[in-house]
Amino acid sequence: MQSLAPSSSRRPILKSLRRPSPTDRVTPSRLVVQCGHRFDSSRADWQSACAILASKVVAQQQDTEKSGDAGNNNIAALNGHRTLDLVPIENLPKPLTIADLSPAPMHGSTLRVAYQGVPGAYSEAAAGKAYPNCEAIPCDQFEVAFQAVELWIADRAVLPVENSLGGSIHRNYDLLLRHRLHIVGEVQLPVHHCLLALPGVRKEYLTRVISHPQALAQCELTLTKLGLNVAREAVDDTAGAAEFVAANNLRDTGAIASARAADLYGLQILADGIQDDSSNVTRFVMLAREPIIPRTDRPFKTSIVFAHDTGTSVLFKVLSAFAFRNISLTKIESRPHRNRPIRLVDDANVGTAKHFEYMFYVDFEASMAEARAQNALAEVQEFTSFLRVLGSYPMDMTPWCPSRED
């Protein structure tokens, strides 16, 4: 406090209050003032000084009340000075919640999903089934789709890994090992092939048919039954074949693609449902930069890849780790070990033997949140030189109807 100067020549001295400690409590309705006075001053001077001090305290309280009323108009006063307008509390940004940080939204309304091919491809349909209302981003190659997610151009990638008739798509298995993306889901899409051509073209006029290699293989018998003596030529994808026929006005060339591709590129359907087997389903996996949290309230599937140094004899021990815990395997796939494709074994009696080295991809029906899956992988790790979990994700349990396009 500042010392006050009354009209008397004998000035009282008000001692400064000590600095309050954190344990002190001060309420605005009660203020305790301590003041000192010289012993030679009169009582009247002391009372005058206290009165002046009390009047200043009352004035300060009134200023505080006025500033509180002014706060309703977003204006505050501090020590008699006007301050800037305050932001209303209801307009302040809300803190993030765990839902804002979820790596896998339930719906794909805001997701950008990369797929291989052009609009009208089956991969585009799979992306739409996995993430409804998503923004589909076409990529010309599988690896470009991986890179699109890694470079934050896309949020997810939906890529095929196996077909019920054509088998595994080895390229994507190799890319799963090369890149550090995580499998966060799967979707199974029935494949419904159509024979497409330019409007007005009859199938008897065709001299060649182009499509993806697997699509050509899946329709081989049906093309023969249709009596078509045509050359088969492979291209990158089914919808790309339809686009190529339309863009180049090829009246002697047909394409095997989906009915959606016919609508997009203005082609007519010469034959519908030409796949040799109605049970033609392609399995796609959804990839993301971060894994999802495994759960136990619904069926989950886990994908792993491993390698070992002592040959394929260890494979039995690895598989027994799952069989012992009643864990069903849905797929096992072997791929060459690119870093060490051949293992040499020297034997003094028979000479040097060469063995091919493999990486093994395994899918099993269990969640990594289950103790039996964790214990199985702990045992598998004892027999392998390399083990990586590609993802633990919900299984696609949607009903499937053959021979119908999704």
Report the number of distinct structural domains present in the chain.
Answer: 3
- Report if residue 237 sits inside a domain: yes
- Report if residue 143 sits inside a domain: yes
- Report if residue 75 sits inside a domain: no
**Residue 255 shares a structural domain with residue 202:** yes
- Report if residue 168 sits inside a domain: yes
Q: Which of 238, 253, 282, 384 is catalytic?
A: 282
Specify the residue for token string 């206290």.
50
CATH number at residue 218: 3.40.190.10
**Residue 303 shares a structural domain with residue 386:** yes
**Residue 137 shares a structural domain with residue 200:** no
**Residue 321 shares a structural domain with residue 387:** yes
Task: Reply yes or no on whether 282 is catalytic.
Answer: yes
Domain closes at, from 271, 305, 323: 271
Q: Which of 142, 146, 284, 364 is catalytic?
A: 284
- Report if residue 65 sits inside a domain: no
The rounded Cα 236 to chain-centroid distance in angstroms is 27
**Residue 358 shares a structural domain with residue 333:** yes
Taking the complete model, does pTM exceed 0.75, yes or no?
no
Contact 325, 372 (CB under 8 A): yes
Contacts of 261 (CB under 8 A, 6+ apart): 120, 121, 196, 238, 239, 242, 243, 255, 267
Q: Which domain holds residue 139?
A: 110-190+279-290
Task: Reply yes or no on whether 284 is catalytic.
Answer: yes
Query: Tell me, what's the pLDDT at 59?
Result: 61
CA separation (Å) from 221 to 165, 197, 198, 215, 276?
13, 19, 23, 12, 6
**Residue 388 shares a structural domain with residue 305:** yes
- Report if residue 304 sits inside a domain: yes
Domain closes at, from 223, 256, 290: 290
Query: Tell me, what's the pLDDT at 383?
Result: 87
Task: Encode 150-176: b = buried (16+ Cβ within 10 Å), e = exposed.
Answer: eeeebbbbbbbbbbebbebbeebbbbb
In three-state form (DSSP H/G/I as H, E/B as E, the rest C), the secondary structure along the chain is CCCCCCCCCCCCCCCCCCCCCCCCCCCCCCCCCCCCCCCCCCHHHHHHHHHHHHHHHHHHHHHHHHHHHHHHHCCCEECCEECCCCCCHHHCCCCCCCCCCCCCCCCCCCCEEEEECCCCCHHHHHHHHHCCCCEEEEECCHHHHHHHHHCCCCCEEEEEEEECCCEECHHHHHHHHHCCCEEEEEEEEECCCEEEECCCCCHHHCCEEEECHHHHHHCHHHHHHCCCCCEEEECCCHHHHHHHHHHHCCCCEEEEECHHHHHHHCCEEEEECCCCCCCCEEEEEEEECCCCCCCCCCCEEEEEEEECCCCCCHHHHHHHHHHCCCCCEEEEEEEECCCCCEEEEEECCCEEEEEECEEEEEEECCCCCCHHHHHHHHHHHHHCCEEEEEEEEECCCCCCCCCCCC
List the chain pLDDT tens, one digit each, 406 residues. Answer: 444 444 444 433 334 444 445 444 444 444 444 444 444 445 566 566 666 665 665 566 565 555 555 444 444 444 454 544 544 555 555 555 545 444 444 444 478 999 999 999 999 999 999 999 899 999 989 999 999 999 999 999 999 999 988 889 999 999 999 999 999 999 999 999 999 999 999 999 999 999 999 899 999 999 988 888 899 999 988 999 999 999 999 999 999 999 999 999 999 999 999 998 888 899 999 999 999 999 999 999 999 999 886 655 678 888 999 999 999 999 999 888 766 544 444 455 554 445 567 889 999 999 999 999 999 999 999 988 889 999 999 998 887 665 444 4
